[in-house]
Structure 1
Amino acid sequence: MALRETDPAEVGGYHIEDRLGSGGMGVVYLARSASGRRLALKVVHAQYADDDEFRIRFRREVAAARQVSGAFTAPVVDADADAARPWMATLYIPGEDLGTHVRRHGPLPLPKLRELAAGLAEALRDIHRAGMVHRDLKPANVMLAEDGPRVIDFGISRAAEFAAQDVLTQTGRVMGTPPFMSPEQFSSPQDVGPAADIFSLGSVVAYAATGRGPFDSPSPYETAIRVVDGDPELDGVPDELLPFVHLCLEKHPKSRPSAGELLDLLRDGRLPEPRPAPETGPTPDEPAAPRRRGRRRLLLASLVSALLLAAATALTVVAVNAEPTPAERDLPTGWQAWHKKSKDPSVDKDPIGADAPFSRCAATGSSLVCAGDDVMATRFALADGRNTWARPIDETTDDLGSGDLGTIIAARSGRVYVYGADDRTVGENEFNPTRYTIQALDAETGKVIWKTVTGDSDEATEPNSDHGASAAVPEGIVTVYGAKGQQYALLDAVDGKVRWKRPMPDPDTQMCLLRSAARHAYLVCQKWSEEDITGTSVAQLDPATGRPRWTVQVTGEQDIVGAAAGRLVVLDTTGTRREVTLINTASHVVTNVRLSPAQPEAATPTLLNDRLYFTFPSGSVRAVAPDTGRQIWESNSTVESSGPPIVSGSHLYLASPSGRLAALDLRTGAVEATLQGRDDGGTAGISGVGAPLVLVGDALYVPYGIRSVYSVDVRNL
């Protein structure tokens, strides 16, 4: 982040070089000492300088951080709690924080998850040995350094030996970030101890494994209720780490293991038994506890009161999706508004062949990679849109094959997974089969990392993820396979080798689609008898073997829309939708929820953050709660033929094929901003719907026109 005119040139004798970020407590700068050492220097906001209580707490923060100097924490180098604006300098740790990394690259693979869990457990062990409690362990406070994770920001930690009668702990303030707080931080904040950090550790590891917190909810108050009284959503956490996470997320503090015990578990697989929670039932002389429903109401009321009080106090840090100030904008390094058109990658450079928008784009690292309209993949720089490479889907000059669309199957860890279709002439009769491949490309350079043939005949199936012929999972790409598409197989994410292959169910009696949801692959088979669909089977595939782990049967012609709160959301593919089918991925129980009102066939469903959005060609949008079927709001976005929408913490965004953009308030559906469509990308022959949008922090990327993309800062709409 660039320095501003109001930023100091130096603080405490340290030269300020750059801004690293800004938050509720202050601004963090990149600074350099006289010897050349790079430091992260936090300067608190001016409004806190005259707060005597704040200065007391800041001195404690400095003292706390000085006591902790392990391999997985950032050591304090210098500080001044008595300066006009108090500051503290720690060793600078290059790299992304965990939250940013997961948003940009997706969940961590299993080896990295093990490293993260062990590093954080060791950091907490060191913190707790020093008599400290961090109290705000969350993805933003975990830096991913080259040599392992580091815990940073002791801004609201406190010494464990501080007695409960300490006046500074009796203000009723809720300290922490709700999705990663422990139950006791809500219910009895004066009794918070090291076990609270262990609970947060479980939530952070679950987030790193799935890309979402185990108690996430659109409302911070509902999040608090789920933390205190609900079950964690752990679908997608690798089986190997589930015992670790379950132990961390025990509701009662005394039932959680220590950081040292967790390290033993990770080292040798020895699983400590959960300690029994203290007896909390009524004694013979005590009245029985109130009914659970009443308890939830009382808990919600107390949490609302606590959160409102916290929001009103100066020192408290409670993350409730508050709108950041301009200084807190989250944009790729060096970002500027841009609009670019892809170079033509075809061999004959025939401009007549280019007449459509991209079908899909995805971001990884510093790259936005797009595909569609005969483009297998092309790369734009996230920061300025530089179009550095482009590859055609058909590398031959003959264009008789059917594989001419192209799409992004997945993008993560600097790689993008796409499919190729090469037409070939075979024999004297000029037989023209198509060889289909799935390829892993380096997103930065376009170099082919691996290339695996999935079918090589005139009856082979195009491995297009948009058509249900391939699906991305953490282990790799599950795809239709074989000369006639008679199998499905897993191609390893690292090297593209076929790890297993299984026969596809009888194609004469059913049509099967490969889908992915919440990091699992599914086989959805729509069965028919003569001309009627008789039902649909949904099977979750074992990533180790490809065999179905479980299968459930549902009525009608249905397909998976996504996963929410541990359940698959399944809808009819044709006709008026009167119900939503929910499949519990743990118990496999099927629940049918009536939609009120029913949603017409013309509406396209998209599941985002546990909410269904139905978009209409006319521009209408309806938001529906899938667990109740209730319509939350309906709005006219003014965007016709929009592609699938995307959401931020506060808004829903839609765009048309020409790039017309609208931002809708998530709570009410009110249109709060629009941008006109663009003609600089070309419009000839464009039809259909817009491509899916891509959001990286506050930078929104909109495919439009002919092979074109533009980027805007959503906070400036």
Structure 2
Amino acid sequence: MALRETDPAEVGGYRIEDRLGSGGMGVVYLARSASGRRLALKVVHAQYADDDEFRTRFRREVAAARQVSGAFTAPVVDADAAAPRPWMATLYIPGEDLGTHVRRHGPLPLPQLRELAAGLAEALRDIHRAGMVHRDLKPANVMLADDGPRVIDFGISRAAEFAPSDVLTQTGRVMGTPPYMSPEQFSSPQDVGPAADVFSLGSVLAYAATGRGPFDSPSPYETAIRVVEGTAELDGTPSELLPFIRLCLEKNPKSRATPDALLTLLRDGALPDPSPADEPPTAVDPGRPRPRRRRLWLASAAGAVVLAALATTTVALTGDDSDPGELPLGWQAWHNKSKDPSVDKDSAGADAPFTRCAATGRSLVCAGDDVMATRFALADGRNTWARPIDGTADDNGSSDLGTIIAARSGRVYVYGADDGVVIGDAFPTSHYTVQALDAETGKVIWKTATGDGDEATEPNAEQGFSTAVPEGIITAYGSKGQYYALLDATDGKVRWKRPMPSPATQTCLLRSAARNAYLVCQTWGEEDSASSTSVAQLDRATGRPRWTVRVKGEKDVIGQADGRLVVLDTTGVRRTLTLIHATSHVMTTVRLSQPQPEGTTPTLLGDRLYVTSPSGSVRAVAPDSGRQLWESNSTVESPGVPLATASHLYLASPSGRLAALNLSTGAVEATLQGRDDGGTPDFAAVVAPPTLAGDALYVPYGIRSVYTVDIRTLRGD
């Protein structure tokens, strides 16, 4: 972050060089000592300087950080709790915090998860041996250093022996960050001990493994209810880690494993080493669903306790102890248009927006309008490379659109469709490939042919002919699309292939939800309409169906919420939805309280179904009950697939008009006008949903164009 005019030139004799971050409690600077050592220097905000209780907390933070070994933390170099603005300098640890890393690069692969689990268990053992309880272990407080994870920020830590007499706790304040707090931090803060840190460790590891917390909910209140009495959402967590995490997330503190026991679990091989295929790409599903179990009522004493506790919550819940989204390094507002990769200049004939974009590393990679992939720098929008979906010399007028199948760890997975030469009235023959590209450079890491000939199937994820799972890409395969196959994420090799059901009587689509793959096949009747649809969950190791459920009518899987697949009619007025439990495959039918009109587009984001119409109308529906939660006019014409964050729903039009809706009420809280600098797109075309990287929102619009905006500025935060 750039320094501001109001920032000091030095603090305590240490020269200030840059901003590392800021929050509700203070600012953290990059500073340098006289000997040249780099330091992270935390300076509290001026408004807290006269708060005696805050100064007590700050002195405690300094004392706690000094007691713990620097092997697993950031060692304290200097501090002055009596200064006009108290400050503390610790050794600077290069690297990202865990929260930032997962937001930018996606969940960690299993080898890194094992290292993280061991490193954090060792850190907690060290902290607890020093007689301390951290009380705020969360992704933002875990630095991913080259030599292992480091735990930082002892701002609300406490000596374990002071629990019954802790003045700060006795005042009724709840300290911590709700998604990563333990049940006892809400229900009996005065009894919080070392076991609370172990519970937080389980939540942090679940986040690192899936990109979401196990108790995430739209509000701190709902989150607290889930922590105290709800069940952790661990879908998508590697099975090897589940025993470790579940031992951490026991509701009763006495039932949780100690850090020593957790280290023994790791050492004794309870978490076996993964195969090379365990470093997966993450499917770039629109909005990246975040499963949550919503609570619409309170029915327990624990709920009443949490309500009372949250009524007296201090800034520690949402101030600088919350995870700041921040912006990509060097970010500035920008807009840009991709070059035409076929002629290396803008093409006058193009008329479509991008169909999908994904952020990974320092790159935003988009595809669509016959562009296989093109890269914009997240920070300044430089368009550094672009590749055509059809690399042949002549464009034979194919309808190839291009899409991002998946993105992960600096790679993007896309498809190519090279058309052969047309002879007479014959159709062009096509050569289809799935490719892994380096997002930064555009270099082809691997390229695997999936089909040749005029009957081959285009491996387009938008059309349901490819999808992503942790092991790689599952795609239609063969000269007639007669197979579906898994291409390994690392090298593109075919790990297995299975026969596709007969196309004479069925149309089959490949779908994924919560890291599992599904084959959805619609069986056609005599009147050219689907009489039934089968949904089969595929074994990712073999490709064989684990189970199959058949439902009436023409339906499709649109995602998973609360452990159940959500299945909807593909045409007509939608009056019901079907839920299939992903493990037991028990099927239930839910009647919608308000039928959803024909021509609307359903999108499942987290635990809600959003139904958008070309007029800009948006409806939010609870899938578990079918109840319509709200209806709103977004003011966005022909909106594409929306994007949901913890607090807002974002919709954009093909012209780039943007609206931010309150996730709880549907109220439009901010808008931006459309843009005319990207060309006039076809408003009937599919437009890519916005993409979020930290607090930077990237909005595709016009003809192969993108602009970016800081969502905090947009909402007036």
> Deviations for 1:116-136, whole angstroms, at most 9, x for unmatched residues?
111111111111111111111
Any idea what SS the aligned residue of 1:310 has?
Answer: coil
Q: 1:444 aligns with which of 398, 423, 440?
A: 440
Which residue does the alignment assign to 1:288?
A: none
> Deviations for 1:573-619, whole angstroms, at most 9, x for unmatched residues?
11111112222223322222211101112110111231111100011
Give the superposition deviation at 1:506.
2.5
In the alignment, the residues of structure 1 paired with residue 71 and residue 475 of structure 2 have an alpha-carbon distance, to the nearest angstrom, of: 42
Which residue does the alignment assign to 2:236?
A: 236
Query: Greater relative contact order (Cα 8 A, min sep 6): structure 1 or 2?
Result: 2
In the alignment, does 2:713 pair up with 1:716? yes
In the alignment, the residues of structure 2 paired with residue 673 and residue 342 of structure 1 have an alpha-carbon distance, to the nearest angstrom, of: 27
In the alignment, the residues of structure 2 paired with residue 10 and residue 498 of structure 1 have an alpha-carbon distance, to the nearest angstrom, of: 58
> Deviations for 1:409-453, whole angstroms, at most 9, x for unmatched residues?
111211111100112249999884211001111111111111111
Instruction: Give the AA of the match of 2:122.
Output: E
> Deviations for 1:43-93, whole angstroms, at most 9, x for unmatched residues?
112222222222222222111111112433222221111111111111111
In the alignment, does 2:649 pair up with 1:652? yes
CA contact (8 A) 1:210 1:518 kept: no
CA contact (8 A) 1:221 1:300 kept: no
Which residue does the alignment assign to 2:415?
A: 419
In the alignment, the residues of structure 2 paired with residue 319 and residue 612 of structure 1 have an alpha-carbon distance, to the nearest angstrom, of: 28
Which residue does the alignment assign to 1:302?
A: 305
Give the superposition deviation at 1:505.
2.0
CA contact (8 A) 2:187 2:309 kept: no
Give the superposition deviation at 1:194.
1.1
Matches within 5 A, 1:134-173: 134-173=134-173
TM-score calculated relative to the size of structure 1:
0.92
In the alignment, does 2:497 pair up with 1:498? no
Any idea what SS the aligned residue of 1:701 has?
Answer: strand
Which residue does the alignment assign to 2:123?
A: 123
Which residue does the alignment assign to 1:285?
A: none
Which residue does the alignment assign to 1:253?
A: 253
Which residue does the alignment assign to 2:363?
A: 367
Any idea what SS the aligned residue of 1:377 has?
Answer: strand
Matches within 5 A, 1:35-184: 35-184=35-184
Structure 2: give runs of 5+ residues left out of the alignment. Answer: 272-295
In the alignment, the residues of structure 2 paired with residue 143 and residue 425 of structure 1 have an alpha-carbon distance, to the nearest angstrom, of: 55
* Range moving further from structure 2, 426-435 or 134-143: 426-435
Change (3 A) 1:329 1:553: closer
In the alignment, does 2:363 pair up with 1:336? no
Which residue does the alignment assign to 1:400?
A: 396
> Deviations for 1:192-228, whole angstroms, at most 9, x for unmatched residues?
1111111111111111111111111112222111111
* Range moving further from structure 2, 544-553 or 257-266: 544-553
Give the superposition deviation at 1:631.
0.9
CA contact (8 A) 2:359 2:693 kept: yes
In the alignment, does 2:600 pair up with 1:603? yes
Any idea what SS the aligned residue of 2:165 has?
Answer: coil
In the alignment, does 2:193 pair up with 1:193? yes
> Deviations for 1:358-390, whole angstroms, at most 9, x for unmatched residues?
111111111111111111111111111111111
In the alignment, the residues of structure 1 paired with residue 298 and residue 608 of structure 2 have an alpha-carbon distance, to the nearest angstrom, of: 27
Any idea what SS the aligned residue of 1:309 has?
Answer: coil
Give the superposition deviation at 1:487.
0.9
In the alignment, does 2:470 pair up with 1:467? no
Give the superposition deviation at 1:166.
3.3
Instruction: Give the AA of the match of 1:512.
Output: C
> Deviations for 1:476-532, whole angstroms, at most 9, x for unmatched residues?
111111111111111111111111111112222221111111122211122223334
Any idea what SS the aligned residue of 1:41 has?
Answer: strand
> Deviations for 1:212-251, whole angstroms, at most 9, x for unmatched residues?
1111111222211111111111110011111111111111
Structure 1: give runs of 5+ residues left out of the alignment. Answer: 272-292
Which residue does the alignment assign to 2:317?
A: 318
In the alignment, the residues of structure 1 paired with residue 307 and residue 320 of structure 2 have an alpha-carbon distance, to the nearest angstrom, of: 15
CA contact (8 A) 2:240 2:270 kept: no
Q: 1:387 aligns with which of 379, 383, 388?
A: 383
In the alignment, the residues of structure 2 paired with residue 332 and residue 505 of structure 1 have an alpha-carbon distance, to the nearest angstrom, of: 45
In the alignment, the residues of structure 2 paired with residue 162 and residue 323 of structure 1 have an alpha-carbon distance, to the nearest angstrom, of: 25
Instruction: Give the AA of the match of 1:584.
Output: H
In the alignment, the residues of structure 2 paired with residue 583 and residue 500 of structure 1 have an alpha-carbon distance, to the nearest angstrom, of: 26
In the alignment, the residues of structure 2 paired with residue 322 and residue 619 of structure 1 have an alpha-carbon distance, to the nearest angstrom, of: 37
In the alignment, the residues of structure 2 paired with residue 382 and residue 242 of structure 1 have an alpha-carbon distance, to the nearest angstrom, of: 35
CA contact (8 A) 1:337 1:713 kept: yes
Change (3 A) 1:257 1:215: same
Which residue does the alignment assign to 1:676?
A: 673
CA contact (8 A) 1:30 1:41 kept: yes
> Deviations for 1:132-164, whole angstroms, at most 9, x for unmatched residues?
111111111111222322211111111112141
Which residue does the alignment assign to 1:274?
A: none
Change (3 A) 1:348 1:424: farther
CA contact (8 A) 1:662 1:673 kept: yes
Any idea what SS the aligned residue of 2:692 has?
Answer: strand
In the alignment, the residues of structure 2 paired with residue 636 and residue 430 of structure 1 have an alpha-carbon distance, to the nearest angstrom, of: 48
In the alignment, the residues of structure 2 paired with residue 295 and residue 392 of structure 1 have an alpha-carbon distance, to the nearest angstrom, of: 55
In the alignment, the residues of structure 2 paired with residue 322 and residue 161 of structure 1 have an alpha-carbon distance, to the nearest angstrom, of: 24
* Range moving further from structure 2, 429-438 or 629-638: 429-438
Instruction: Give the AA of the match of 2:310.
Output: L
Instruction: Give the AA of the match of 1:453.
Output: A
CA contact (8 A) 2:177 2:322 kept: no
Matches within 5 A, 1:420-435: 420-425=416-421, 432-435=428-431
In the alignment, does 2:505 pair up with 1:509? yes
Which residue does the alignment assign to 1:582?
A: 579
Instruction: Give the AA of the match of 1:676.
Output: Q
Which residue does the alignment assign to 1:409?
A: 405
In the alignment, the residues of structure 2 paired with residue 551 and residue 147 of structure 1 have an alpha-carbon distance, to the nearest angstrom, of: 46
CA contact (8 A) 2:353 2:681 kept: no
* Range moving further from structure 2, 488-497 or 535-544: 535-544
> Deviations for 1:626-662, whole angstroms, at most 9, x for unmatched residues?
1121111111111111100112332211111111111
In the alignment, the residues of structure 2 paired with residue 704 and residue 496 of structure 1 have an alpha-carbon distance, to the nearest angstrom, of: 32
Any idea what SS the aligned residue of 1:164 has?
Answer: helix
Any idea what SS the aligned residue of 1:612 has?
Answer: strand
Aligned sequence identity (%)? 79
Any idea what SS the aligned residue of 2:412 has?
Answer: strand
Change (3 A) 1:348 1:365: closer
In the alignment, the residues of structure 2 paired with residue 173 and residue 144 of structure 1 have an alpha-carbon distance, to the nearest angstrom, of: 30
CA contact (8 A) 2:367 2:373 kept: yes
CA contact (8 A) 1:580 1:594 kept: yes
Q: 1:639 aligns with which of 636, 641, 649?
A: 636
Give the superposition deviation at 1:702.
1.1
* Range moving further from structure 2, 669-678 or 153-162: 669-678
Matches within 5 A, 1:507-656: 507-530=503-526, 531-656=528-653
Change (3 A) 1:131 1:112: same
Give the superposition deviation at 1:704.
1.1
In the alignment, the residues of structure 2 paired with residue 31 and residue 350 of structure 1 have an alpha-carbon distance, to the nearest angstrom, of: 45
In the alignment, the residues of structure 1 paired with residue 321 and residue 592 of structure 2 have an alpha-carbon distance, to the nearest angstrom, of: 32
Change (3 A) 1:401 1:112: farther
In the alignment, the residues of structure 2 paired with residue 76 and residue 550 of structure 1 have an alpha-carbon distance, to the nearest angstrom, of: 56
In the alignment, does 2:199 pair up with 1:202? no
In the alignment, does 2:484 pair up with 1:485? no
Any idea what SS the aligned residue of 1:672 has?
Answer: strand
CA contact (8 A) 2:144 2:150 kept: yes
Any idea what SS the aligned residue of 1:452 has?
Answer: strand
